[in-house]
Amino acid sequence: MKKKMGVISKIIILVSILFFIPVVVYLLGYQGFKVRKFNDNIEIFYNEKFTYDEGDICYNSFFKCHKVSVSTKGRVDTSLIGEYTVYYIYKYAGDILTKKQTIKVKENEPPVISVDDNDFNVCHNQKDIKFNVTAYDNYDKDLTDKVKQYIKDGKVYFEVSDSSGNKAIVTKDLTIADQKPIITLNGSYMEFVKLNNIYEDKGANAYDDCEGDLSSQIQKSGIVDTSKAGEYQITYSVSDSVGNKQTAVRKVYVYPESNYNVATGKIIYLTFDDGPSAYTTRLLDILKKYNIKATFFLTNPKGYDSVILREYNEGHTIGLHSNTHDYSQIYRNTDAYFDDLYTIQNKVKEITGYTSTIIRFPGGSSNLVSKSYDGGTKIMSTLAKEVEEKGFKYFDWNISSEDAGGTTSTSQVFTNIVTYLNGNGPYVVLQHDTKNYSIDAVEDVIRYGLAKGYTFMPLSMSSPTIHHHIAN
Ligand SMILES: [Zn+2]
């Protein structure tokens, strides 16, 4: 029995040994590296400090995962964005494991887009709009060239991405700014054409800020009947494609030959003070061309005897203004005034043989300048009476061209005069033939007046009285 047990035990022990030894051997042995944690890909920011990340790798057995030694290969420069590769070399008891790790260095600051704020007014048909835009990135620096621009729903979008994929978008509201076209008349806004002559309209140009030249689309309306004197109007109109309409008007005056001595009931007296001057003969030529008679109120006509004679011979009225035109002298007292007046009256008589009794007070009868010199005697009130008692007739004016101080512009002189030519008159117009720019306006004033049916007449002793209110 004892012997039998011994055999069984031996068998058991033998079987156990045969069975367990490999298990123990296995359990005591190693199964190689075990990767418990390792990041294949790492992203870090530009200029951030990089530290190697070896993860968690050990050398494995049943009882324990043994710590292994690790060395690295490869460098990461975080001051330069990009991809870097680092190798981790793990060693244990002569066994080696190499792991590769990719490190992406990037930055997260989007570029900054700057757009000049000044002009977001665009045309409805504008395709290529240039805005003043710049883009700057902390890493890529200037990205202006890469800015993409597009327009959507009344806004303009500016978009740019940096090399790390950070995107910036700026939007600006657009204003559709389409102005009316501009019409420019060829020639003047006023044209004059003589009765029964041909009127050729010079046309007009139109320019639109968005659509450019629209001249060919100008619609013209209005007619000029050159067989009938008067004022005509030609209207030019044009619209751009979004319906902004513009019109311009030209006045055309068809004027008859001078109707001097054919009184129409609408009378203009052109009067010229302070001459003659070097410009007076040119004025006389203009008046002659239209057979218009005017009135000259003369002042100190030294050296211009022949001009005065011409004025007289050509049918103009020679009026008397003043020999000296010196307020401080003539308005001291009535004697001084009449001394001066008779001096010029005699001079005119010497030259022309004509004794003029048509006068105009220097400064007009309403002048206040006389107050400074007359010692409080209200000299204008006295003179207004006395000149009539002595057989003179004085004339003021009811239209001033403002050519003596008010303006030096010919077109303004013209406007100052014709603005008031809106009734039957009579109108006495004040100009100075010592002012060249004023003489330049005379021809248009004549043609305008003739077209409007006025008769130009010289003043005479029987002309209607045009007096100012005496203020001194
Ligand atoms: Zn004067």
Whether 328 and 444 map to the same domain: the answer is: yes
Regarding whether 140 and 100 lie in a shared domain, the answer is: no
Q: Decide if 336 contacts 353 (C-beta within 8 A).
A: no
- Residue 126's alpha-carbon distances to 76, 210, 211, in angstroms, are 50, 7, 9
Assigned domain for 20 exists: no
Do both 313 and 368 map to the same domain? yes
Residue 88 lies in a domain: yes
Position 251 in a domain: yes
164/296 same-domain check: no
Give residue 182's identity as a one-letter amino acid code: I
Q: What would the DSSP string read from start to end of 19-53?
A: HHHHHHHHHHSEEEEEEEE--SEEEEETTPPP---
51, 84, 57, 85: which is closest to 70 by C-alpha? 57
**452 CA distance to ligand 1 middle (Å):** 29
User: Which tokens is 231 given?
Assistant: 């004022």
Specify whether the CB–CB gap between 404 and 372 falls below 8 A.
no
Query: pLDDT at position 264, please?
Result: 66
Reported confidence tier of residue 16, pLDDT bands at 50, 70, 90: confident
Distance 203 CA to ligand 1 centre (A): 43
- Rg, the chain, Cα only: 53
For residue 92, the domain's CATH number is 2.60.40.10
Q: Is it the case that residue 269 has pLDDT exceeding 70?
A: yes
Cβ count near 242 (within 10 Å): 13
- Identify whether residues 229 and 169 lie together within a single domain: no
Q: Is residue 46 part of a domain?
A: yes
CA of 363 to the centre of ligand 1 (A): 6
Report the CATH number that the domain containing residue 427 is assigned in CATH. 3.20.20.370
Which pLDDT band, with edges at 50, 70 and 90, does 119 fall under? low
Q: How confident is the model at residue 11 (pLDDT cuts 50, 70, 90)?
A: confident
- Ligand 1 centroid to residue 384 C-alpha, Å: 17
Distance in Å, CA 361 to ligand 1 centroid: 8
Verify that 130 and 37 share a domain, yes or no: no
Residue with tokens 């367990």: 20
How far, in Å, CA of 243 to CA of 178, rounded? 10
| pTM of full prediction above 0.85 | no
Domain with residue 130: its CATH number is 2.60.40
Residues whose CB falls within 8 Å of the CB of residue 370, separated by 6 or more in sequence, listed in order: 327, 331, 363, 379, 380, 472
Confidence (pLDDT) at 93: 83
Q: Are 348 and 452 members of one domain?
A: yes
The model's confidence at residue 38, banded by pLDDT at 50, 70 and 90, is very high
Per-residue pLDDT, 330: 97
3 versus 386: the higher-pLDDT residue is 386
Cα–ligand 1 centroid distance for 274 (angstroms): 5
Band (263; pLDDT cuts 50, 70, 90): low
CB of 267 closer than 8 Å to CB of 457: yes
> Hey, which of 162-171, 218-227, 259-268 has the most confident mean pLDDT?
218-227
**Is a pLDDT exceeding 70 seen at residue 1?**
no
Assess whether pLDDT exceeds 80 at residue 260.
Answer: no
Domain match, 319 and 428 both: yes
Give the residue numbers annotated as catalytic, written as ranges. 273, 432
How confident is the model over 25-39, as a mean pLDDT? Answer: 82
CA distance 272 to 395: 12
Question: Which residue, of 235, 255, 275, is where some domain finishes?
Answer: 255
Ion ligand 1, residues whose Cβ is below 5 A away: 273-274, 362
399 belongs to a structural domain = yes
Same domain, 167 and 187: no
Token pair in block for residue 13? 């022990």
Last-in-domain residue among 72, 106, 140: 106
Over residues 159-180, mean pLDDT: 89
Residue 262 lies in a domain: no
pLDDT band, very low/low/confident/very high, at 4 (cuts 50, 70, 90): low
Ligand 1 midpoint to CA 275 (Å): 9
| Domain annotation covers residue 98 | yes
Calpha distance 159→416 (Å, rounded): 59
CA proximity to 402, closest of 428, 379, 430:
430
Q: How remote is the CA of residue 360 from the centroid of ligand 1, in Å?
A: 8
Considering the domain architecture, whether residues 398 and 284 belong to the same structural domain is answered as yes
Q: What is the pLDDT of residues 121-168, one digit of tens each?
A: 778 777 777 788 999 998 899 999 999 988 888 788 999 999 888 999
pLDDT number for residue 116 = 82
Q: Are strands 230-239 and 141-142 parallel, antiparallel or unpaired?
A: unpaired
Q: How confident is the model at residue 118 (pLDDT cuts 50, 70, 90)?
A: low
Q: How far apart are CA 304 and CA 124, in angstroms?
A: 66
Cα-to-centroid distance, 410 and ligand 1 (Å): 19
Is pLDDT at 60 greater than 90 in this prediction?
no
Distance 324 CA to ligand 1 centre (A): 10
Q: Of 255, 283, 301, which one is at a domain's C-terminal end?
A: 255
DSSP for residue 195:
T
- Cβ 136 vs Cβ 111: under 8 Å: yes
Domain enclosing residue 149, as ranges: 112-176
How many structural domains does the chain have?
A: 4
Has residue 2 got a pLDDT over 60? no
Which pLDDT value is given to residue 62? 75
The answer to the question of residue 21 being in a domain is no
Instruction: Please compute the mean of the pLDDT values over residues 36-52 and round it to a whole number.
Output: 92
Instruction: Indicate whether 423 and 310 sit together in one domain.
Output: yes
Pairing mode, strands 182-185 and 121-122: unpaired
Sign of the C-alpha dihedral computed for residues 415, 419, 423 and 426 taken in this order: negative
410 has pLDDT over 90: yes
434 and 324, same domain (yes or no) = yes
* Tokens matching residue 96: 């080696």
Mean pLDDT of 374-390: 97
Task: Quote the ligand 1 centre to 329 CA distance (angstroms).
Answer: 14
